Amino acid sequence: MMFALPHLGHALAALGRYAEAEEVFAEARRFGREYGVGPLLARAIAVSAGYHLDVFDFRGNEAIAGEARELARSVDFLPTLVSGDLDLLLNFIRRHDLDRADRLLADVAVVVEKAAGWHGWIWRLRLAAARAELALAHANLEDALQQSTEAIELNHGKKLKYEAAGLETRARALHALGRTPEAIADLRRAVQLARPTGDPTMLLRAVAGLLAVDGDDALLAEASTLADGIVRALPDDRMRQAFEASSPVALVRKLAGCRQTGAQPGVWRSPPRRRRH
């Protein structure tokens, strides 16, 4: 039960069925407390924090991950402690709290690089993606390019979520370096990876990234539909507000407003002119 319930909640959240996921996570908490399964209760709480990061609820993610880490520390359960640290590392990077991110990276990298077995390989995948995002957040563009390429190669065929994240990070670095056609190719690949998964937040991030450099009306309509669906599915107003305030969603809303008023979004390229023969 303590393995199955968090897996079910995680799957429901990945499909955008957040209210159902919360019910399953609540049941995992109740069951774990009733039977005193401390380590796996910590793990279940940590798993429940994950989707908050995906919907840009950084405060919610930090609070739940912190709870999971405290419980994991009290029962000496290292896997959840490290997984929670990796969650917080991405949280700090994405909210641009880079001092905390730098300090946490230094601590967690030592543990991850020494880890073996099942936890070791997935921690290394996540750490590679985080390092790439952190380099980009520091505007170390060449380092971000190298780190994101390594993350893409490491994740290829293993974890689509982090492969797509690596592609998005590399695309942002390429665009900042003036290599926009390569950035567009990476973003299109990220969209291609995300679409079959059924994960609306994964797809929205990739589509919003592509909209920023190579948009069109069909892509904007898809992004707007995704964002509206996620807003309706989120279980409370605080999460909805955090989601709407995020950069990808703000971009989608801005572009949609431009199209409604007839304005040409400045981030979109003009269509190529037909040659006269």
Instruction: Give the pLDDT confidence of 135-178 residue by residue, as tens digits.
Output: 999 999 999 999 999 999 998 878 889 999 999 999 999 999 99
Count of alpha carbons within 13 angstroms of residue 161, beta-carbon side: 14
Which pLDDT belongs to residue 182? Answer: 98
Query: Tokens at residue 57, please?
Result: 């609820």
Domains of the chain: 1-114 (1.25.40.10)
Which pLDDT belongs to residue 270? Answer: 40
Alpha helices per DSSP H over 115-216: 117-137, 141-155, 160-176, 180-194, 200-214
Question: 0.85 exceeded by the pTM?
Answer: yes
Q: Which of the four pLDDT bands, split at 50, 70 and 90, describes residue 273?
A: very low
Mean pLDDT of 53-67: 96
Query: Tokens at residue 134, please?
Result: 């952190």
Helices (H) and strands (E) in the chain, counts: 14, 0
In terms of Cα–Cα distance, which of 143, 111, 103 is closest to 127?
A: 111
CB 88 within 8 A of CB 58: no
At residue 198, φ and ψ (nearest 5 deg) are 80, 5
Which pLDDT belongs to residue 264? Answer: 59
Q: How far apart are CA 26 and CA 237, in angstroms?
A: 19
CB 72 within 8 A of CB 113: no
**Model pLDDT for residues 62-102, shown as the tens digit of each residue:** 999 999 999 999 999 999 999 999 999 999 999 999 999 99
Which pLDDT belongs to residue 115? Answer: 75
Which pLDDT belongs to residue 265? Answer: 57
**Model pLDDT for residues 207-244, shown as the tens digit of each residue:** 999 999 998 999 999 999 999 999 999 999 999 999 99
| pLDDT over 80 (residue 104) | yes
In terms of Cα–Cα distance, which of 210, 228, 223 is closest to 252?
A: 223
Residues in CB range of 84: below 8 A, 6 or more apart: 46, 49, 65, 66, 68, 69, 72
In terms of Cα–Cα distance, which of 229, 224, 156 is closest to 190?
A: 156
> How does the average pLDDT of the chain come out, rounded?
92
The residue behind tokens 């897996």 is 7
